Structure 1
Amino acid sequence: MTAAPARSPRRYDPDRKNRIIAAAIDVIAEHGVAGTTHRRIAAAADVPLGSLTYHFTGLEDLLEQAFTHHAEQMSPVYEAHFDRVRGRADLVEAVTDLVHGDAGADHRDWAVAYELYLAALRNPALRTVTESWMRRSRAVLERFVDPTTARGVDALIEGLVMHQTLSTAAVSRTETRTIVAGLLGVQP
């Protein structure tokens, strides 16, 4: 009777799923959703390809969990940015700072957010993620303005950041402040 070959011990890696999700966010930021593949994510996470199918039902499930994680990480940063706002003039400054990258979000974070918005156009599960994220953003703004104005300010932030990110001639802080102040009825 021959002895059974010795099995190598299973590698204990309790943080593997979280590492895969973090790697997926990095891959999305670098390659966009269209360029995000199982192989790229596995390589970025330094895990075997089979780990992705073990932890996720497919690429759509992984993307949904990655985008959810990203939104959950960004929401507290967004909320904290408005902690010192005491009135509309402070709100104008806080929104201006947010648009100009002084609120803890960088170009990579916005790239992931815009990839989420684009992917949500075709994937209803991702619309749930975007709706939840937008609802949280508006709830922060509703501490200072009515719900309709909060929706407008939220949309203005998204649009101004998109212009800031994509434009070859970025909007100045002064122009941003004037635009935000006009929406909020504050003298710049």
Structure 2
Amino acid sequence: MPTVSPESGSRRGRPNDPERRDRIIDACLEVIARVGVAGTSHRKVAAEAGVPLGAMTYYFAGMSDLLHASFTRFATTISDRFERRMATVDSEDAAKAAVIAIILDDVFGDNRELVLSHELCTLAARDPAYRSITSAWMRRSRAALEHHFDPETARMLDALIEGLTIHRALDAEARDPREVEEAVARITARPGSATRRSR
């Protein structure tokens, strides 16, 4: 796939529906959540968005352009939610509680978001053009955590948040929420894990 820019909008001209591009992106995410990237096509997205098939090429140079814009929106939405959660805390204990809440409640609010995350990671693993999205996502997560923890601890917590969330979502048996509390406690118990900003 060619390298594409996020949110590019491929064609010149004046759109007669300024919200159409956003609807197409939202529709693309819904289609991906149902059938995966491999099953997503311009025709399916156009039908989901309620737009003429020909409108797809007005806004996007091709499927790669559409996928990049759609996954950029998805990752940005998750990152915004993450940052809002971490911005509400003002102490180390509150920051630990926020991390626990992110794992138990926030990261993937439902199965749709879990599927979209896996589809993005699979795509990024195969095509470097999409790694800019996953890299930006991780940078924002670590930056939010670094307001309360040192950079190394923030990196560990970021990996824990994603990994443990996926484990909990995909395990056939219910997991004890206390394992999340224990994991966060162990990582943040490292000497120097808290930054001055949260003390």
The TM tier, using the shorter chain, reads 0.7 to 0.9
1:131 to 123, 128, 135: 135
Question: Does residue 113 of structure 1 match 2:135?
Answer: no
Instruction: Please give the alpha-carbon distance, in whole angstroms, between the structure 2 residues aligned to 1:95 and 1:24.
Output: 30
Q: CA deviation at 1:103?
A: 6.4
RMSD of equivalent CA atoms:
1.8
User: Over residues 64-97 of structure 1, what are the superposed CA-to-partner deviations in whole Å (9 max), with x where a residue is unaligned?
Assistant: 0001111222221111111232333222221221
- When structure 1 is superposed on structure 2, of 25-34 and 11-20 the one drifting more is 11-20
Equivalent residue number for residue 174 of structure 2: 170
Higher RCO (C-alpha under 8 Å, 6+ residues apart): 2
Q: Which runs of 5+ in 1 are unaligned?
A: 1-10
Q: Larger C-alpha radius of gyration, 1 or 2? A: 1
Q: Scaled by the length of structure 2, what TM-score is found?
A: 0.82
- SS at structure 1 position matched to 2:158: helix
Instruction: Please give the alpha-carbon distance, in whole angstroms, between the structure 1 residues aligned to 2:156 and 2:178.
Output: 20
Between the two proteins, what is the percent identity of the paired residues?
A: 44
Displaced runs of 4+ in structure 1, greater than 4 A?
none
Instruction: Please give the alpha-carbon distance, in whole angstroms, between the structure 1 residues aligned to 2:137 and 2:107.
Output: 17
Q: Which runs of 5+ in 2 are unaligned?
A: 1-14, 191-199
Q: When the two structures are aligned, how many residues end up with a matched partner?
A: 176
Equivalent residue number for residue 4 of structure 1: none
Q: CA deviation at 1:120?
A: 0.3
Instruction: Please give the alpha-carbon distance, in whole angstroms, between the structure 2 residues aligned to 1:138 and 1:129.
Output: 14
Instruction: Please give the alpha-carbon distance, in whole angstroms, between the structure 2 residues aligned to 1:35 and 1:99.
Output: 29
Instruction: Please give the alpha-carbon distance, in whole angstroms, between the structure 2 residues aligned to 1:119 and 1:164.
Output: 22
1:29 to 30, 33, 38: 33
Instruction: Please give the alpha-carbon distance, in whole angstroms, between the structure 1 residues aligned to 2:38 and 2:187.
Output: 36
